[in-house]
Amino acid sequence: MTAIHVRGLRKAYPKIQAVAGIDLDIERGEVFALLGPNGAGKTTTVEILEGHRKRDEGTVSVLGQDPGTAGREWRARLGIVLQTATDAAELSVRETIRHFARYYPRPRQPEDVIELCGLEEKAGARVKSLSGGQRRRLDVALGIVGTPELLFLDEPTTGFDPQARRQFWGLIQKLAADGTTIVLTTHYLDEAEALADRVAVISRGEIVAQGPPGELGGRATREAVVRWFDRDGEQEVRTPTPTKLIGELSLGGGELAGLTVTRPTLEEVYLDLVGGTR
């Protein structure tokens, strides 16, 4: 059930060790997010997994094959959505999707892809006339038209307004519900928290933490801040056992007005892990 298996992955460039010994497993059907500051090694790692860059050392298996030697049949099982893409701007959305569908042995029906990506109203429009959000939906349409088992998404919502981002999240969730394995790189931590089953944080070419977003870096067990108001005003206590504290407070019989319990946010944990840089 493992879609991606990596052990001891290394890649160096002149004067820099981009990837310094990464171990990674991604299960089939999982949405997995890679987080890290610019220059951390995310892009190099993903390009090696996609078969677009050679590694120096390590074992890599993607859908059961080595991406460094896999052929056309293996590539047809992948979908790749780059951060920036070029296109035939004069073609319509429908013409573009139909054109790309011919490259694959088992493509989705172009009309189904148009509907899935929410492009029905723009199917006949030229690509150059699309808004940024609509253009990104077309990028995903081209990434999934081949019915990929594994989809790579590189910073898919950069430049989106909040409403467009939420709509795009819905599309990714639909794809995940259909069983597509998704590897997502993003700088938006709320995006990773909303979409990913697990996340890995890369810093200086190494994975410094990985796990479900709610548990990353011991987040679920870190001290919580309990706040409430009583007759003496606002109260605040930091504790690793907030439920126990609230139970003890309730025994006093008084109303705990404005009661809140907060743990460190994913952003706070992330910044701790990468040393405060993004």
The domains of the chain are located at: 2-211, 223-262
Lowest average pLDDT, out of 47-51, 111-115, 274-278, goes to: 274-278
Q: What is the mean pLDDT of residues 188-213?
A: 92
- E strands along 98-138, which residues? none
The mean per-residue pLDDT over the stretch 72-81 comes to: 93
Q: Are 201 and 273 in contact (CB under 8 A)?
A: yes
- Distance (Å, whole) CA 175 – CA 173: 5
Q: Among residues 3, 200, 188, which one has the least CA distance to residue 172?
A: 188
Where are the extended beta strands (E) located within 170-274?
A: 181-185, 198-203, 206-211, 224-230, 233-239, 257-262
Q: How many CB atoms lie within 10 A of CB 240?
A: 11
Report yes or no: 31 and 197 within 8 Å, Cβ to Cβ. yes
- pLDDT band for 77, please (50, 70, 90 cuts): very high
| Token pair 């959305």 in the structure block, residue | 93
The CATH architecture one would assign to domain 2-211 is: 3-Layer(aba) Sandwich (3.40)
User: pLDDT at residue 277 above 60?
Assistant: no
pLDDT number for residue 86: 61
- All residues at 6 or more sequence positions from 103 whose CB lies less than 8 Å from its CB, including other chains: 76, 146
Q: Is residue 266 pLDDT above 90, yes or no?
A: no
Query: Rounded distance, CA 74 to CA 168, Å?
Result: 27
Is the pLDDT assigned to residue 108 strictly greater than 60? yes
Strand duo 2-13 + 57-62: pairing = antiparallel
What is the rounded average pLDDT of the residues 155-159? 80
The pTM (predicted TM-score) of the whole model is 0.82
Q: What pLDDT does 247 receive?
A: 85
Q: What is the mean pLDDT of residues 251-263?
A: 78
Cβ contacts of 131 within 8 Å, gap of 6 or more: none
Is the pLDDT score of 123 beyond 90? yes
Other beta carbons less than 10 A from residue 273's beta carbon: 17
Least confident window among 11-25, 102-116, 199-213, 247-261:
247-261
Average pLDDT taken over every residue of the chain: 88
CB 81 within 8 A of CB 155: no
| pLDDT score for 276 | 58
Per-residue pLDDT, 132: 80
% of the chain exceeding 90 in pLDDT: 53
Average pLDDT of 187-210? 92
For residue 79, pLDDT beyond 70: yes
- DSSP secondary structure code for residue 237 in this structure: E
E strand residue ranges, the chain: 2-13, 16-27, 31-35, 57-62, 78-81, 150-154, 181-185, 198-203, 206-211, 224-230, 233-239, 257-262
